[in-house]
Structure 1
Amino acid sequence: MTIETALIMLAAGFLAGALNAAAGGGSFVTIPAMVFVGLPSVAANASSTVALLPGTLTSAWAWRHDYKTLQGIPLSTLLLISLAGGLGGALLLLATPQRAFDGVLPWLLLTGTLAFALGRPLGAALRRKVRIGRGPVLAAQIMLSVYAGYFGGGVGIMMMAVWGMLGEIDIKAMSALRTLLVSAANLVAVLCFVVAGPIWWPETLAMLVAAIGGGYAGARLASRMPDRVLRGFVILFSTVMTAVFFWRAWR
């Protein structure tokens, strides 16, 4: 790893850690940064998940006193779904040919960007008009857990939008549960990636260390900067990255 690559990894990791702590969307920084320095897109996706895992686990621990069942759905059921879905998504990623993933990556970035930008208002609008049962929620949770293990951009917001259609649920409880379940899916995906070996360790470790520092800075930043400003930055950045990767795929 060159000095220039190390500096890019450190900067991207710090920014991603800060964004995840403050507003979310860190993977919109880490994956493009790793592709930019030369990692294949599948390895970049897997390595990014590894680099950001400590931050998500720390957040899950911080929320540990706020976990609740989801409208009577046992927490153990949701955890098992997340673990199984994360494993399925990771295996699906490893089975995806590099060329095919290069083609699908821009669409994944677009999906994550739209979920991040529209998830909250869309979820609020759906809650006013739609109520669904536990069966559809569990089915959606399975699909979202697979998505989390495969790519994961915007998955936390997607989960909260789906859960909101069950009825009125405390936003704090949903935030805690989202953090736990995304962390569970990411954890099993990381174990799968480590065993399978698509991780580029020097770049990953540099980004991981920087992301820890960025997470602390992001938590401090979030207490001082309006949420709409932070979210606006993530949406703008992810939109630009999505456009760049569409151009790269079609060039």
Structure 2
Amino acid sequence: MTWADALLLFGAGFVGGMLNTVAGGGTFITFPALVFTGIPEVAANASATFAAMPGYLSGALGFRREVLAFDRRQLLRLTGWMLVGSVIGSGLLIVSSNAAFRLIVPFLLLMATAVFLWGDRVRDFAARHSSGVTAFGVGTLLPVAIYGGYFNGGLGIVLLALFSLWGMTNLHLMNGLKTWLSFALSAISAAVLAFGGLIWWGPALVMMVGNTAGGYLGAPLARRLPKGVLRALIAAVGFGMSALFFYRLL
């Protein structure tokens, strides 16, 4: 890893941490940066998941009151199923070849960008059509957890939409549950992926430092931007990165 690579990864981690703290979408920055420094796609995805852990942890701590207010037995059951899905998704990533993952990545980025951009509408739609979905059912949580273990992009927005389908309406409680489940998933995913030898520790640690700094120091800068401008910038990056990875397939 050159000094230029280290600066790129730190900067990408900083911006990604800043975006995740304010609006989400940090994956659109961190994952491509790791790939562009020469890390294979599967390892880049694993390393980006590891680097994002401090942000999830700080978010869970910030919402600790909401997390502790949640029914304890229900929380443990949801966390358990989240961990199961995380192991399955991470296991699928371990057995994926770089060629296969390279083919899937543009579609995953495109889907995550679309979910980010229209997440509020998806959540509102889910809230209006929640009657046919079992509240807190494993049948809906497990597929989301498997997706999160395989590719972390847009996980928080998907979880919020799922909670709306379950009939939850308290946004603070929803955010608390989201941050806790995201941290639990990323911690287990990182452990599984580390066991599988997919994490490139040097680049991942540099990015983790940048991600942590961005989460704490960069948030005030991002909050000064109007929400619409920030969302448009993140969407532009997401669609741009999707197009770039589609181009790499040619």
Q: Give TM-score, length-normalised by structure 2.
A: 0.94
**Greater CA drift, 132-141 or 154-163:** 132-141
**Deviations 1:75-105 (CA, angstroms, capped at 9, x unpaired):** 1111001111111111110011111011011
Letter in 1 for 2:99: R
Cα distance 1:228–1:40, how it changes in 2: closer, same or farther (>3 A)? same
- Structure 2 gap ranges (5+): none
Alignment of 1:206-225 (within 5 A): 206-225=206-225
Distance (Å, rounded) in 2 between the aligned partners of 1:135 and 1:212: 34
How much has 1:136 moved relative to structure 2? 7.7
**Alignment match, 1:248:** 248
**Greater CA drift, 215-224 or 156-165:** 215-224
**Alignment match, 2:98:** 98
Distance (Å, rounded) in 2 between the aligned partners of 1:164 and 1:73: 20
For these two proteins, the number of residue pairs brought into alignment is 249
Answer yes or no: is the 8 Å Cα contact 1:79–1:181 preserved in 2. Answer: yes
How much has 1:133 moved relative to structure 2? 3.5
Distance (Å, rounded) in 2 between the aligned partners of 1:61 and 1:236: 31
**Deviations 1:91-142 (CA, angstroms, capped at 9, x unpaired):** 1100111110110111111111111111211221332344233268431110
Distance (Å, rounded) in 1 between the aligned partners of 2:29 and 2:181: 22
How much has 1:241 moved relative to structure 2? 0.3
Alignment of 1:17-96 (within 5 A): 17-67=17-67, 68-69=69-70, 74-96=74-96
**Greater CA drift, 119-128 or 99-108:** 119-128
Aligned-pair Cα RMSD in Å: 1.8
Letter in 1 for 2:165: M
Distance (Å, rounded) in 2 between the aligned partners of 1:154 and 1:137: 21
**Greater CA drift, 227-236 or 33-42:** 227-236
Answer yes or no: is the 8 Å Cα contact 1:22–1:221 preserved in 2. Answer: no
Cα distance 1:242–1:116, how it changes in 2: closer, same or farther (>3 A)? same
**Alignment match, 2:109:** 109
How much has 1:229 moved relative to structure 2? 2.3
Answer yes or no: is the 8 Å Cα contact 1:90–1:149 preserved in 2. Answer: yes
Answer yes or no: is the 8 Å Cα contact 2:136–2:166 preserved in 1. Answer: no
Answer yes or no: is the 8 Å Cα contact 2:51–2:211 preserved in 1. Answer: yes
**Deviations 1:177-233 (CA, angstroms, capped at 9, x unpaired):** 111111111110001111221111111111111111111123323543332222222
**Greater CA drift, 193-202 or 20-29:** 193-202
**Alignment match, 1:157:** 157
**Alignment match, 1:148:** 148
Letter in 2 for 1:114: A
SS of the aligned residue for 1:244 comes to helix
Distance (Å, rounded) in 2 between the aligned partners of 1:230 and 1:155: 19
Cα distance 1:193–1:247, how it changes in 2: closer, same or farther (>3 A)? same
Cα distance 1:146–1:168, how it changes in 2: closer, same or farther (>3 A)? closer
Cα distance 1:203–1:161, how it changes in 2: closer, same or farther (>3 A)? same
Letter in 1 for 2:121: P
Letter in 1 for 2:38: G
Cα distance 1:168–1:183, how it changes in 2: closer, same or farther (>3 A)? closer
Distance (Å, rounded) in 2 between the aligned partners of 1:213 and 1:75: 30
Distance (Å, rounded) in 2 between the aligned partners of 1:168 and 1:109: 27
SS of the aligned residue for 1:134 comes to coil
Answer yes or no: is the 8 Å Cα contact 2:156–2:182 preserved in 1. Answer: yes
Distance (Å, rounded) in 1 between the aligned partners of 2:141 and 2:70: 14
- Structure 1 gap ranges (5+): none
Q: Give TM-score, length-normalised by structure 1.
A: 0.93
